[in-house]
Structure 1
Amino acid sequence: MPEHPPTPPVRPESVGGERSGVPDAQPAGADRSTLRLALTVGGLVLAVLLGFGLGRANPGPGTPSATSAAAATAEHTHAPGTGAHDHGVGTDQAADSGAGGLSISSAGHTLAPSAVEFGVGRAGEFRFQVRDERRRPVTRFAVVHDKPMHLVVVRRDLSGYQHLHPTMAPDGTWSVPLTLKQPGVWRAYADFTAVADDGRQTAATLGVDLVAPGGYAPRPLPAPATTTTVDGLTVGYEGTPEVGRALPLRFTVSAGGAPVALERYLGAYGHLVALREGDLGYLHVHPVATPAGDTVTFRVTAPGPGRYRMYLDFQVAGVVRTAEFTVTVP
C-alpha cells in the first residue's frame, strides 16, 4: 500500500466513493462518527453477501431443484396415446390441492394474455404468451397427445366448455379463434409442457379469467348422472372417483343399444377433463392404453371432495363430440 500525505478528517460524503472512507492510518483528529458509519456500511454489505450465499446453498421448500423438476415431469416424454397421464399439477402447485389451473403462474412459468375482455357472442381471437422466470417468451414446447398446447375455456358456472388448440408464432405468441357465447366470467386453462434451453421438460396448467360483459345469470350445475346423450349417442361410465386414490372410470359409447366404435382423436380414444365446482381446480387425465373398441378407461385421482363436472372428448365417424357429467366426490 503506497504511503499517503496527511489527510484532513474524512467527510461523510466520501464514504462509498473511490476510497473506502477509512484511511490507512487514522489521524488523531479524524471524525469518529464517520468511521463508525463506514464500519456499519461494511458490516451490512458483508451480511447481505453472506445471506445471498446461504440462500443459494439452501433454497426454500417451494424452490424445486433441476433434478426434482426433471423427475416430476419425466412422464411427459411418453409417446402420444400411451399410458395414463395426469396434467393436473405443476411442480409449484400446492401439494394438498392436487388440481391445476388455480393461478396464472406455476412451475416457473406465467401466462401473459394480450387481452381478457371479449364481446358476447362475437368471434374474437385469444392471444397469449407463456413466459419463463426471466420473463422471456417460451418458444419450445413438447408435443403431448399430438399438440404442443391444449386450451380449455369454460364459464365459471362450468357451462360452455371448449377444448381448443392454438397455433404459435415465432415470437412465442399463441393465438386461437374464440367466441364467448354468454356474458359472465370465463376461465381459460393453458395445458402444456415447456422445454427449457437445457432440454428439461416442465408440465404446467395455468389459468386466467376472461370477461364477457353483461348480466351474468349462472346456470345450476346438472344433477349427478352416469349416462348422457350426445347427438343420438348414449355415453355412460362406471366407477366412482375417490380422494387420493387412482381408480378406473370406464366410459362406453352406444347407439340404439349397440356399441359404437371409438376413433383415435389426438392420439387417444378419448380425453377427459374434470373441473371442481367453486375454485375451478383443473384435472386433465389421459386414458389407459387399450385396443380399439367402444370403451375407453381412465385412472382418476380426485384432488379433494366436492362436485366436479367431467368433460369427455371422443370421436365417432370423424366427428369430435363432448359428453358432460356431474359427479360428487365425498
Structure 2
Amino acid sequence: MSDETSAAPDRSTLRLALLVGGLVLAVLLGFGLGRLNAGGTTAGSPTRAADHTHPPGTQPHDHGSTTGTDQGVGTEPGGLSISSAGYSLAPLATEFPVGRPGQLQFQVRDAQRRSVTRFAVVHDKPLHLIVVRRDLTGYQHLHPTMAADGTWSVPLTLGQPGVWRAYADFTVVADDGSQTAVTLGADLVAPGDYEPSALPAVATSTTVDGFRVGYQGSPQAGATVPLTFRIDAADGSAPLERYLGAYGHLVALREGDLGYLHVHPEPELVDGQVRFWLTAPGPGRYRLYLDFQVAASVHTAEFTVTIP
C-alpha cells in the first residue's frame, strides 16, 4: 500500500511538468513565427527612413523640411525665418546709414538663448553671410569673424535705401559632435526713399567685369537638374581658380519671399565648365548669383530665371 501511495505523486508531478513545458514551447514558437511574419528588424539594422540616397549636389538639410512626397527632393529654401532648428539669429543693430561703411554684428543663439561658439568649417569658412536688397539688387557675399563670446562682426555698406535681407549660412557643432546645417534670415534697414528696381529680363548669358558668362540647363520645380556655367575672358581664356574650396558658388533667391538656396558645384571642372545640381523648391522667378575667381579676383555674374 505504501508503495502505491508514494508512486502517485511522482506521476502527477510528471504530468504537470509536461504541461508547463508544452505551454512554454508553444509561446516561444508563436513569438518566433510572429516575428517572421511581421518582418521585424533586429537591433542595428537600418530603418526604412534611412534607406535612401541624395541626388548629386544636395545640400545638408533636414528631411522634415522637404516638399517632395517620397523622394526627398524639392527642399524648402532657407532664410525665411529668423529662427529655425532650435537656433536664432540675433543682430545687435539692424539700421545702417545709406552708402556709409558700417559694422554688422550678430550672434547665433540656441534654444536657451545661449550664444553658440562651435561651428563647422564648410567651404573654408565657419559662416557665410549673404546680404541683398529685397528687390534682389546689391548682392554681397561676406565672411564675418567671430569673437570668443560668439559675436560675429563684418564691415557692411548698404548702398541704397530700403529693406535688405541678411542670410547667415552655417553648421553648428553640438557637444556630442553632431552637426546641424542652418540658414537664418533677418531684415536690415537703410532709411530713405525706397525705389525698387525691376528684375532684369530672363537671360542665360551676361557680361561682368569683362568676362562673358553663360549657362546651360533648365531648372525645374521639385527636380534636381544640372546647370553648367562657362566663363570666358575677352581673349577667350579664363583660367578659373578655386574660391573657398570650389570653382564657383551659386546662390539662388526667390522673388517675393526671398527664399534662399546655396549650391556648390562638382569638385572638378567638366570640360572647363562649372557644373551645379540645383533643386528648385517651387515655381516663380529667381535671381541667380554665380561667384567665381580668376587671377585672385572674385567676380559675380547675375541671372534671372523663371521656373514654371
TM over 0.5: yes
Q: Which residue in the other structure is 1:120 paired with?
A: 98
Whether contact under 8 Å (2:129, 2:169) holds in the other structure is: yes
TM-score, length of structure 1 as denominator length: 0.73
Match of 2:293 in 1: 315
Q: For the residues of structure 2 that align with 1:90 and 1:173, how far apart are their CA atoms?
A: 26
Matched, 1:84 2:57: yes
User: Which letter does structure 1 place at the counterpart of 2:87?
Assistant: H
Identity over the aligned pairs, expressed in percent? 68
Amino acid at match of 1:125: Q
Runs of 4+ displaced beyond 6 Å = none
Shift of 1:158: 0.0
Structure 2 matches for 1:215-234, cutoff 5 A? 215-234=193-212
Q: Closer, same or farther in 2 for the Cα pair 1:101/1:90, shift >3 Å?
A: farther
Question: Gaps (5+ residues) in structure 1?
Answer: 1-67, 76-82
Counterpart of 1:54 in structure 2 is: none
Gaps of 5+ in 2: 1-46, 69-74
Show the counterpart of 1:250: 228
Q: Structure 1 residues 285, 203: closer, same or farther in 2, change over 3 A? A: same
Alpha carbons of 1:98 and 1:321: their partners in 2 closer, same or farther (altered >3 Å)?
Answer: same
Inter-CA distance 85–269: structure 2 relative to 1 (3 Å threshold): farther
Structure 1's 123 and 86: CA in aligned 2 closer, same or farther, altered over 3 A?
same
Counterpart-to-counterpart distance in 2, 1:132 and 1:267:
29
CA distance in 2, matches of 1:185, 1:291: 37
Residue 105 (str. 1) matches residue 83 (str. 2): yes
Which one-letter code corresponds to 2:98 in the other structure? V
**Deviation per CA, 1:125-161, whole angstroms, max 9, x where unpaired?**
0000001111111000000000000000000000000
Q: Distance in 1 between matches of 2:89 and 2:155?
A: 18
Are 1:201 and 2:174 matched, yes or no? no
SS at match of 2:120: coil
- The count of aligned residue pairs is 252
C-alpha displacement at 1:291, in angstroms?
4.0
Change (3 A) 1:317 1:157: same
Summarize the Cα distance change of 1:85–1:176 in structure 2 as closer, same or farther, 3 Å threshold: farther
Match of 1:177 among 147, 152, 155: 155
| Residue 160 to residue 90, structure 1, CA distance change in 2 (3 Å) | farther
Deviation, structure 1 residue 292: 8.0
Q: TM-score, normalised by structure 2?
A: 0.78
- Contact residue 85 and residue 287 of structure 1 kept, 8 A: no
Q: Which residue of 1 aligns with 2:277?
A: 299
Distance in 1, Cα, partners of 2:187 & 2:63: 22
Task: Verify the 8 A CA contact 2:128 2:168 in the aligned structure 1.
Answer: yes
Task: Flag the 1:111–1:92 CA change in 2: closer, same or farther, 3 A.
Answer: farther
From the superposition, tell whether residues 91 and 176 of structure 1 become closer, same or farther in structure 2 (CA, over 3 Å). Answer: farther
Pick closer, same or farther for the CA change 1:175–1:292 going to 2, 3 Å: farther
What's the Cα RMSD here? Answer: 2.2
